[in-house]
Amino acid sequence: MVGRMGPKVIASVGKQILEEANTIREDLHRHPELAFQERRTAGMIAKYLHALGFEMVSERVAGTGVVGLLRGERPGPTVALRAELDALPIREKTGLPYASTCEGEMHACGHDGHMAILLATARVLAGMREIICGMVKFIFQPGEERGGGAGKMLEAGVLSNPQVGAIFALHARPQIQAGEIELDLVPAAASNPFEIRIIGKGCHAAYPHMGIDPIPIGSLIVNSLQQIVSRQVAPYQRAVVTVGAFHAGSRGNIISEEAVLRGTIRTRDPAVQKKIVDSVGRIAREIAGAFGAKVDVRFESGTPRVANTPRLMDLVRQVGVEVLGADNVRDADEVTMGAEDFGCYLEEQGGVPGCLFRLGVETDESVHSAKFDFGRQALESGILMMSNLAIRYLAGR
């Protein structure tokens, strides 16, 4: 089924497993499901793990999550491997024979590939129980795209019973080639969605002096928020403040009573995150107050940054060099401000040591694009990485 390169190292994945993994990926791509609605997906995963003879398969975890536990024949710690279940509300435009059959829903972030890799990893490791020193916990998490899935899985106790010692995950990265991995101590930024509701005073557009117009007030707030990063954050620190929605009014001859702004804050440092959150609230309140309007500023909890554990990132690098080759292990040369809720599982948030690495895929299309497809070329490198990481971590090397 697999070949070995030295002790406890899986060097290749059998053709049958790769073909099965690709069949699974195409099936998942054809049947995407949105966050916390992944019932078909979860059912298929649970059935597959049961067929492999897993000691425990828990379903409906945090709604639609699945957790499988594989026990090795030797005693040892527990390592967790995680993949995401959910798709995005995007109308697919790939034209692939296995394109989404669900109108307006699509696996545009690679979660179909992540799941296929983790299921194939489960099959590989299930056939190698005799060399596994401990247990491998397979976590299939719902709702990553909405940012709440990891927190709900934690509330359900996925890092305990048995207690997880470390957790690993991968994510598709179209900016690098299939067969390559990319490492970064902070591979994903923190995300804080916000809403600013400006309450003015409505009136007839012919008599603006009789009202308080929230639209120019909102415009001033939007323009002022753009100066937070350029003037309040050090040039060597990375941050983004984006207002992505501005809603007000319904008729050209009516000054509306309210305007609503919605946006996101992205940061890579907790101190910068706090500073920007404080600044957004202060700017909105003071500008609105200066024009006699009221304002309601609300921040969602969002997702924390992903802060990899250095020693586990070193392990990922070591395994990558051994199974993919040194030329295929890259350090990130581009800072990303994308978010990922994997950080909820990690030490910085009170969780466990862990590492998320990026996996090259065959497409040049960006994630969240209507033309994105994970493809089949990255499957073997992903399976090799996840399988070897589990074995090497449990072996203590």
Please report the pLDDT score of residue 235 as a whole number: 93
Please tell me the distance from the alpha carbon of residue 148 to that of residue 150, in angstroms, as a whole number: 6
Evaluate if residue 8 carries a pLDDT over 70.
no
Q: What CATH code is carried by the domain that includes residue 223?
A: 3.30.70.360
Q: Could you tell me if 270 and 216 lie in one domain?
A: yes
Q: Mean pLDDT throughout 46-63? A: 96
pLDDT tens column, 246-305: 999 999 999 999 999 999 999 999 999 999 999 999 999 999 999 999 999 999 988 999
pLDDT tier for residue 20 given thresholds of 50, 70 and 90: very high
**Residue 3 reports pLDDT greater than 70:** no
Verify that 184 and 194 share a domain, yes or no: no
- 32 vs 292: CA distance, rounded Å: 48
Q: Look at residue 397 in the predicted model and tell me its pLDDT.
A: 61
150: pLDDT strictly greater than 70:
yes
Domain end call among 299, 321, 336: 299
3-state SS assignment for residue 123: helix
Is the confidence at residue 224, as pLDDT, over 70?
A: yes
Whether residue 228 is found in the same domain as residue 322: no
**Main-chain dihedrals φ then ψ at residue 32, nearest 5 degrees:** -70, 155
- In this prediction the pTM is 0.92
Mean pLDDT along residues 316-332: 97
CATH number, residue 332: 3.40.630.10
pLDDT of 6 above 80: no
Cβ(165)–Cβ(353) below 8 Å: yes
Domain count across the chain: 2
Residue 136 lies in domain: 2-188+305-395
Q: Give the DSSP letter of residue 366.
A: P
How far, in Å, CA of 184 to CA of 333, rounded? 9
Give the mean pLDDT of 26-45: 98
Looking at 268, 299, 330, which one is the last position of a domain? 299
pLDDT tens-digit readout, 84-140: 999 999 999 999 999 999 999 999 999 999 999 999 999 999 999 999 999 999 999
At which of 299, 327, 345 does a domain end? 299
Q: What is the gyration radius of the CA atoms in the chain, in angstroms?
A: 24
Residues 292 and 310 both lie in one domain: no
Confidence of residue 184 (pLDDT cuts 50, 70, 90): very high
Distances (CA, A) of 61 to 65, 152, 351, 366: 4, 8, 18, 31
Give the pLDDT confidence score for residue 352 in this predicted structure.
Answer: 98
Phi, then psi, of 315 in degrees rounded to 5? -65, -40
